[in-house]
Structure 1
Amino acid sequence: MPPATAPHRGVTLGVGTLTAMVVGSMVGAGVFSLPATFAGETGVVGSLVAWAIAGTGMLLLALVFQSLAVRKPELDAGVYAYARAGFGQYVGFFSAIGYWASACAGNVTYWVLIMSTAGALLPALGAGDTPLALVLASVGVWTFFLLVRRGVRAAATLNRIVTVAKVIPIVVFIVLALTVFDPAVFADNLQGGPDAGSLLEQVRGTVLTTVFVFIGVEGANVYSRHARRGTDVGRATVLGFLAVLAIFASVTIVSFGVLPAAELAELRQPSMAGVLEAAVGPWGVGLVSVGLVISVLGAYLAWTLMAAEVLLVAAEDGDLPRFLARTNKADAPGNALLLSTITTQVLLVVTLLSEDAFSFALNLTSALVLVPFLLVAGYALQLAATGETYTGQPSARTRELVVAGLATLYAAFLLWAAGWAFLLVSFLVYAPATVLFAMARREQGRRVFSARERVVFAVAVVGAVVGVALLATGAIAF
C-alpha cells in the first residue's frame, strides 16, 4: 500500500478546512431550489426514493474518492488525475475540461440565482436573465477574480468562515418549517401532483437535480496537493458528504408539509423563500435571501478555486499549455483563474438567450460532470480488479472492488437517466477544447494524437456535429 501522505506544494490545509471545501462547494445554489424542483417532478415517496438512490450512489462515489486519496496520494486534482492514470492522457484531458467547464457553468447558476432573488425587490433584474442582471453579475465575477488572485490560503480561510455562516440559515429554515408542518398536507403530497408519472419516471426526473446539488463531493480530492495528509482528504470527503445529504433531504421533505405540491412547483426560485414565507410570513423571504447570498458567494469562491486548480495541474502534467501552469507569489494560478473567469463571463451572456437561465445553467453543469464521475469510478474499479496497491490486502481489495463496481454502475445509471442529449452537449465542449491539448503536445514536440486518441477525437467530433445539428433544429433544448 502506498504511503498515506501525498507530496504537496505551497500552503497546506487540514481536515477541517478540507471538509469546509466539500461542504462549501456542495451547499450552494441547488439547496435553495429543491422544494419547487422536486415538487415539479415527484411527491414525498418519490423524493425519499430519489434521495435514497442519490445518497447511496454518491456515498459510493465518496468512498471511491476516499480510497483513491489513500491509495494514489501522488495524484493531484483527483477527478482529472484519476481519469488520466486509468485511461490515458487524452481521456484525462476530457475529464479535466469537462469538470472545469462544469465548474464554470455551475458558477453561472450562482449569479443567476442571486440576481433572481434580488429581482423580487428590483423587477429590472427579472429572473436573473436581464441585461441589468448580466451587468451586475459580471461585476461580481471579476471582483471574485481579483479576490482569489490574492492567494489560496486567504481564499480557503474565507471559505471556511462562509461555510459555517451559510449553513445556519438553512438549518433555521428546516426548524421553522417543522413548526408549521401540516400532516394533512404532507399526506396529500405523498404521491406528488396529478401529472406525476410512474415512480421510475419521477425518480428519473430528479436525477440531474441530485447530481447538481452533490457536485462538490470531490472537493477535497481536487485540492489534495495542499492536504497535510492523504487520509485527511478521505475523511473530509465522507464527513462533508454525510452532513450535506442530511441537509438536502431535510429541506426537500419538510417543504411537502407546508404547501401542496402544485403550489410548491409554481414557486419562484429560490423556492425555499416561498416556502418560508408561507410558514412565517414575509420576513421569511428576507431570511432565505440573506442565507442564499452568503451560501452562493461561498460556493462560488470554492468552485472558482477548484476550476483553476484542475487547469493548473493538467498544465503541470503537460496536457494543457504551459501558460496555464503559472502561479503568482500568493500561490494562485493566475492564468487558469483568468481563463475560468472569461468562460464564466461568456456563459453568463449565453443565459440571455435561454428561456430559463437557471435551468439552462443547472442542466449544463450536471451534463458536463457525468463523464468525469464515471471515469473516476472506472479507475477505482480498474485498480481493485488488477490488484494494484492491494498487495497483502485481500479483504480490502474485495470490499473496494464491490464499492467501485457499484459506483461505476451508478455513474452509468446517471448517464442513462440524464439522456443521450446531455452526452452530446459534453462533446460540444470536448471537441473544440482539444485545441488546448494540441497546443500542449506541440510545445513538447510530440505528435498530437496516438492511434487510439485519434479514434476518441473522431468520436468527439461526430458527437459535437450531431449535437450542433440537433440544437439548430430544436431537438435538444435547454
Structure 2
Amino acid sequence: MTRTDHAPQQAAAPAVKLTMLTMTGMVVGSMVGAGVFSLPRRFAQETGVAGSLIAWSIAGVGMLMLAFVFQMLANRKPELDAGVYAYAKAGFGQFLGFFSAIGYWASAGMGLVFYWVFIMSTIGAVLPALGDGDSLLAIGISSLGLWGFFFLIRRGIKEAAVINRIVTVAKLVPIVVFILLCLFVLKPQVFAENWAGADYAGSLFDQVTGTMLVTVFVFLGVEGASVYSRHAKRRADVGRATILGFVSVFAIFASVTIVSYGILPMGEIAQLRQPSMAGVLAAAVGPWGAWFVSVGLVVSVLGAYLAWSLMAAEVLFVAAKDDDMPRFLARSNSADVPVPALLMTAIFVQVILVITYFSHDAFNLALDLTSALTLIPFFLVACYAMKLVITKESYEDAPRGRGRETAIAILATIYTAYLIFAAGVTFVLLSFIIYAPATILFVMARREQGRRVFSGRELVILAVALIGAVTGIVALAAGWITL
C-alpha cells in the first residue's frame, strides 16, 4: 500500500505561509501567557531572592540551549516538520516519536485547561461563585469559552495568527508597567529580608529545584516556531524566530519575580490569591493595581490560548500525515485548519476541565502537569541533537560549527535530564497515565497500514509505559499521590 493510497480523500489545502515577525509573535504569544502572572507566589512558596537568581540563571541558560537546539535542528534538518515530534521520531523511531507527539499535545491541552482555571480564578476575586476556577459555574463558563474558541480557530490559521500577533503586543504592556511601578516603590529593607528565603524554605538546592517546573511552564512555547515550521515563508526564519522570541521574554519573567520581593515579605507573597501579580501590585500602588493586572491577564491568556490551540492540533496533524496517528487526524479544511485534530484537543480539554472539579488544587495541578508532560519530548529533542553531532549526520557537507553545536547539545541534554529529576516521581507517573492509553491511537494507525503493531523494541517501551501507568493509578487509589 502506498502513502497516497490511504491519504485523506479531500484535496489538501495549500499551507498558509507565515513571516518571521508573525512566527516570533507566536513564540512570544505562547510563552507570555498566564504563567508570568503566577510567578511571584510560586517562587515565594519555594525560595527567596538568592534562590530565584540561581533558578533563573539555570533556567535561562538551559532553555537558551534548548532554543539553540531547535534553531540548530531547523537548519540541519529542514525537511522535518512539527519539530518536537519529528525530531524524536527521526532520532529514536516511530513509537518514541508517537509518545513525543502525545506528550507535547497533552501538555498543550493541559495548558489550555490551566488558562481557563486561571481566568475563572481571576474573575473569582469579584464573583465568589467561580471559586478558584474549579467550581461548577467556572467549569460551565470555561466550557462555553472552549467551544467558542474551537469555532473561531477552525475558520482559519492565518486569521488566528494575526489576532495572536496583535494580542501579543497588547499583553506585554501591563507586564512592563508592573515591573516599572514595583521598581519605583521597591523597599530595600523588605528586599534584603527576602534574600535568603523564609523559615519554611529548605536548603538552597531544594529551593532551586522546587522552582524548576514553573520555569519550564513559563518557557513553554519556545518551540512554537519549530512546531509550525511547515508554514514558514523561509526555513531559516524558524530558528531566528525561536531565539528572538526567547530573548524577548527571559528578562521579563526574571524581572517580575525579583521585583516582587521588594514589595512584600515572601511569606505574604506565598499566600496571595492567584494571579499573585495582582496582589503584589495592589500592595504597591493600591487596589487599582489588582484590576490593572487582572485585565492584562485576561488579554494575555486569550492570546496565548490561540497559539497553544494551533500548536496542539498541528502536532497531531503532522503525525497523522506521517502515518503515526490514525488517518482521520490528517484531514484539514479549506482554510488549512486540521479540524479533527482541533476537535480531539477540545474534547481532551473538556474532559480535564470536568476532572478539575475533583482536584484538591486545580491551579497547580494543571500548571505542573503541563510542564511535566513536555519533559520527555524535550529530552528526546536534546538527545537527537547529541546523536547528530556524535554520528556527524548532516555535517558531511556543512561541518562548520560542529564544536559549538556539540556543546549546546550536551548542555541541553543535561538540563532536560535535570528537569525530569526535579519534576519528581509523582508527575512522571501521572504523565504515564496519559501516555499509556493514548497508545490506542498508535495501534489504530498501524492497523490501518496493515503493518505489525509493535516491534520487539517497541514492546519494551510499551511495557515501561504500562508499568508506569499502573503504578500511577495504584498510587492515586492508595492516596500515595493526590490530584
TM-score range normalised by the length of the shorter chain: over 0.9
Q: What corresponds to 1:351 in structure 2?
A: 356
Q: Does 1:452 align with 2:450?
A: no
Aligned to 2:53: 48
Question: Structure 1 residue aligned with 2:374, among 358, 369, 372?
Answer: 369
Identify the residue that residue 414 of structure 1 maps to in structure 2: 419
Decide whether the 8 Å contact of 1:9 with 1:226 is kept in 2: no
- Unaligned ranges ≥5, structure 2: 1-12
Moved more, 392-401 or 330-339: 392-401
Specify the code of the residue in structure 1 equivalent to 2:391: T
Question: Does the 8 A contact of 1:390 with 1:396 survive in 2?
Answer: no
What residue identity is the alignment partner of 1:448? Answer: V
- Tell me what 2:189 maps to: 184
- Provide the residue aligned with 2:325 in structure 1: 320
Q: In structure 1, what is the Cα distance between the partners aligned to 2:471 and 2:350?
A: 26
**2:392 is matched with which residue?**
387
1:129 to 131, 134, 148: 134
1:152 and 2:170 correspond: no
| Structure 1 residue 259 corresponds to structure 2 residue 286 | no
Separation in 2, partners of 1:337, 1:271:
32
- Larger deviation, residues 57-66 vs 418-427: 418-427
Separation in structure 2 between the aligned mates of residue 393 and residue 185 of structure 1, nearest angstrom: 54
Whether 1:86 and 2:91 are equivalent positions in the alignment is yes
The reply on whether 1:427 has 2:432 as its aligned counterpart is yes
Contact 1:116 1:127 (8 Å CA) reproduced:
yes
Describe the superposition over 1:202-237 as per-residue Cα deviations: whole angstroms up to 9, x where unpaired. Answer: 001101111111111100000000001111010110
CA drift of 1:393 comes to: 4.4
Contact in 2 for aligned 1:9/1:225 (Cα 8 Å): no
The SS at the match of 2:472 is helix
Q: Which residue of 2 aligns with 1:227?
A: 232
1:397 aligned residue: 402
- 1:164 equivalenced with 2:164 (yes/no): no
Residue 3 (structure 1) aligns with:
none
Question: What letter corresponds to residue 453 of structure 2 in structure 1?
Answer: V
- C-alpha deviation, 1:452, in angstroms: 0.8
- 1:239, CA displacement in angstroms? 0.7
Which AA in structure 1 matches 2:50? V
| Superposed displacement of residue 395, structure 1 | 4.6
Q: For the residues of structure 2 that align with 1:169 and 1:79, how far apart are their CA atoms?
A: 31
Task: Note the alpha carbon deviations across 1:285-311, whole angstroms, 9 max, x for none.
Answer: 111011000001111110000000000
Deviations 1:181-212 (A, max 9, x none): 11111000001111111110000110111111
Cα deviations across residues 307-362 of structure 1 (Å, max 9, x unaligned)?
A: 00000000000000000010001110000000000000100011111111100101
**Partner of 1:213 in structure 2?**
218
Of 201, 207, 211, the residue aligned with 2:206 is 201
2:311 and 2:271 map into 1 onto residues whose CA distance is 34
Q: Deviations over 1:1-43 (max 9, x none)?
A: xxxxxxx951101110010111011111110000011011000
CA separation in 2, counterparts of 1:27 and 1:245?
10
In the TM superposition, what whole-angstrom CA distance separates every residue of 1:45-86 from its partner, at most 9, and x where no partner exists? 000000000000000000000000111111110000000000
> What is the match of residue 28 of structure 1?
33
Amino acid at match of 2:254: A
Q: 1:306 aligned to 2:311?
A: yes
Tell me the equivalent position of 1:72.
77
Secondary structure at 1:171's aligned position in 2? helix
Aligned match of 2:18: 13
Distance 2:168 2:384 in 1: 31
1:236 alignment partner, one of 228, 236, 241: 241
Give me the TM-score of the superposition, normalised by structure 2: 0.96
4+ runs deviating over 4 angstroms: 392-395
Is 1:330 the counterpart of 2:344 in the alignment?
A: no
What is residue 4 of structure 2 aligned with on the other side?
none
Distance (Å, rounded) in 1 between the aligned partners of 2:383 and 2:309: 27
Structure 1 alignment gaps of length 5 or more: 1-7
Supply the distance in 1 between the matched residues of 2:322 and 2:387 (Cα, whole angstroms).
Answer: 22
Please give the alpha-carbon distance, in whole angstroms, between the structure 2 residues aligned to 1:402 and 1:439: 40
Partners in 2 of 1:477 and 1:409 — Cα distance?
29
CA distance in 2, matches of 1:274, 1:467: 36
Per-residue CA distance 1:127-161 (angstroms, 9 max, x = gap): 10100000000011000000100011000010000
How many equivalent pairs are there? 471
- By how many angstroms is 1:421 displaced? 2.0
What is the SS of the residue equivalent to 2:225?
A: helix
Change (3 A) 1:329 1:393: closer
Q: CA RMSD of the aligned region, Å?
A: 1.0
Aligned to 2:480: 475
Do the aligned partners of 1:321 and 1:440 also contact (CA within 8 Å) in 2? yes
Amino acid at match of 1:282: P
Q: So what's the TM-score if we normalise by structure 1?
A: 0.97
Letter in structure 2 aligned against 1:145: F
> What is the rounded CA distance, in whole Å, between the counterparts of 2:429 and 2:131 in structure 1?
30
Within 2, Cα distance between the matches of 1:410 and 1:464? 25
Q: Distance in 2 between matches of 1:186 and 1:9?
A: 55
Say which SS state the counterpart of residue 419 (structure 1) adopts: helix
Partners of 2:14 and 2:336 within 8 A in 1 = no
- The CA deviation at 1:456 is 0.8
Q: Distance in 1 between matches of 2:425 and 2:145?
A: 34
Give the secondary structure class of the aligned counterpart of 1:22: helix
2:344 corresponds to which residue? 339
For the residues of structure 2 that align with 1:97 and 1:43, how far apart are their CA atoms? 36
